[in-house]
Structure formats: C-alpha cells, structure tokens
C-alpha cells in the first residue's frame, strides 16, 4: 500500500482524479466497519449449510438431492442474499406506472418533492446519495433544466455544484438572472453511477417526475442545458451542436412552452472555445424573456 505521505501534491492529485474517473466517490465510510469480522461471520453462516448438504464418506446422495463437491463454493440462499442489503428495483412497466401515479397525485411542488424522495422503484435511487429536486423561484415563469446530477451535485444535494456550478452562476448573471430568480431542476433526480447515461427504462421512470414539475410550475420559457436534456425533450438524436440555438415547443400536460437548448457548463469547461456559442444562446434566451416581460430591460 502506498502512503499518501510518500506522494507529491501532483501525484496525490493525479491519484484522486484516477479514483474519481473510476467512479470512486468516498474513500471512508461514515462509520467504521470491520471487514475481517464481517467476512468471518459470512463464512460461519455458510459452513453449517454446506456441512448439511455434503453426504458422509461412502454415502450416496438421496434421490433428487444435488451432490456437493468438497471444494465447491456454496452460494447463499435467496433469502440470505436479500437480507445482506437492499436490492435495487428493476425498471419495468410497473415502475413507470407507479411513477406516473405518484406524479399525477402531487398537487404542488412540495408534495411532488416528498413523493419523489419516498419513491423506491428506480435503480438510480439505490446508488445515489441525494435526490435532486427543483429549487429557486417557481413563480418566475423561467425554468432552467439540466441533464442529470454530477458527483458534486449528488454530494452537495443541489444541481450545478462545484466548478460547473460556478460557471453556471456566471452564465446566469451575464443575462441578469440568478439561481434564486429562476426555477432550476434536472431531468433525472438521481445521479447515475459513474456519471453514465441513464438507460431507456430509467428515463421512462423519471419522465413523469420532470414533466409534473413543469406542469406545476407552468413556466413561460425553458432553457435546456446539455445534450441529454435537449434530446430528452426534443425527441431527436442529434448532438447539442445541432440542437442548440433554435426555439422549439415542448408540450407537457395542457401547456405548450417555448424552449431553447444550449451547452452544459461542464461542456464549456471541457471545451472553452464553445463559450461563444453558449453566449449567443443566452442572448437569445434573454431576448425571449424580455419579450415575455419576464426580465426587465
């Protein structure tokens, strides 16, 4: 094992980045766990079952009884595996129906937030630390929707955290807005492990939640940030460079809302040369807000 004391600051930073890219987010548990004692307890629990299944020397197994090889690993019974920890829900049509029911029965954003936090039929919730929900001014008529929580978002419990969030704040300030003056949310309320793209089933489960947020807030204009968010609402497979900068309409419940897509702040941190494209999109969004009397001249 390499001690951190033997690494230079640059080597330590590189090692931490390597762990982050691999999906490792927490190096220590909140409470100490004796893994050696845990392992010994597992072996002790499995040993009696293995001894009961193994026939005595020279004795043939009873008809219908499987023969156990002396060196074969004994798998725990289904009940034992279920008791070892929470099992993720399997995304399917039933989970989608549950999500729709939960969303439709919420009569306010407060009720919807409580319902989503209690919802357990999506795999993503079981691996996420936080449930990310809409924040800001629900009466502003302005909605900004990101894609899915990042590792920083999941850790802080709020959308657009870390360096990406700092740039996002500057983007809003450039057109006379702040986090508190818009309703800010994300398509997916839980961070996918390793920042992977959500599966089709996971998107279907989460769709009622984001659509209900829009229906309850009734925004007059929406800014979509990121490739995933734009594809999700526009129903197209083009890249963000092909989807950005053009006004389209989003139909949710009985509302038809103008929306424009732009690059996600994380995209701009990765490729700063695209900031000029995002700036043009922000100016178009600002002009729309002014035309709707949602932003002072």
As a whole-number percent, the residues of the chain with pLDDT over 90 amount to: 66
Banded pLDDT at 263 (limits 50, 70, 90):
very high
Q: What is the mean pLDDT of residues 116-139?
A: 94
Taking 80 as the threshold, does the pLDDT of residue 46 lie above it?
no
pLDDT at 56: 53
pLDDT at 85: 45
Taking 50 as the threshold, does the pLDDT of residue 280 lie above it?
yes
Q: Tell me: the pLDDT tens digits for 163-172?
A: 999 999 999 9
Q: Tell me: the pLDDT tens digits for 157-213?
A: 999 999 999 999 999 999 999 999 999 999 999 999 998 999 999 999 999 999 999
Q: Which of 233, 227, 228 is nearest to 250 (CA)?
A: 233
Least confident of 92-96, 172-176, 234-238, 254-258: 92-96
Q: What is the mean pLDDT of residues 28-43?
A: 63
The per-residue pLDDT of the chain, averaged, comes to 83
pLDDT at 33: 63
Taking 50 as the threshold, does the pLDDT of residue 89 lie above it?
no
pLDDT at 253: 86
pLDDT at 78: 41
pLDDT at 93: 85
pLDDT at 59: 53
């Amino acid at each position: 094992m390499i001690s951190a004391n033997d690494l230079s600051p640059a080597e330590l930073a590189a090692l931490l980045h390597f762990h982050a890219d691999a999906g490792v987010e927490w190096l220590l548990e909140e409470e100490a766990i004796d893994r050696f004692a845990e392992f010994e307890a597992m072996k002790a629990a499995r040993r009696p079952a293995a001894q009961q299944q193994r026939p005595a020397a020279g004795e043939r197994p009873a008809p219908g009884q499987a023969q156990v090889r002396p060196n074969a690993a004994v798998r725990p019974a289904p009940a034992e595996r279920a008791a070892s920890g929470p099992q993720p829900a399997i995304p399917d049509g039933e989970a989608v129906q549950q999500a729709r029911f939960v969303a439709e029965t919420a009569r306010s954003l407060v009720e919807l937030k409580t319902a989503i936090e209690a919802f357990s039929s999506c795999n993503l919730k079981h691996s996420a630390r936080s449930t990310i929900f809409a924040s800001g001014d629900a009466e502003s008529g302005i909605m900004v929707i990101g894609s899915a929580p990042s590792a920083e978002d999941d850790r802080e419990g709020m959308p657009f955290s870390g360096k990406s969030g700092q740039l996002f704040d500057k983007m809003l300030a450039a057109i006379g807005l702040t986090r508190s003056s818009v309703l800010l949310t994300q398509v997916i309320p839980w961070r996918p492990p390793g920042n992977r793209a959500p599966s089709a089933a996971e998107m279907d489960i989460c769709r009622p939640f984001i659509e209900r947020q829009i229906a309850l807030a009734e925004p007059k204009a929406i800014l979509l940030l990121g490739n995933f968010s734009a594809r999700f609402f526009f129903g197209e497979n083009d890249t963000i460079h092909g989807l950005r900068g053009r006004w389209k309409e989003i139909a949710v419940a009985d509302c038809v809302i103008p929306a424009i897509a732009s690059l996600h702040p994380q995209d701009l941190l990765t490729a700063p040369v695209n900031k000029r494209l995002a700036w043009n999109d922000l100016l178009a969004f600002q002009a729309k807000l002014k035309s709707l009397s949602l932003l002072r001249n």
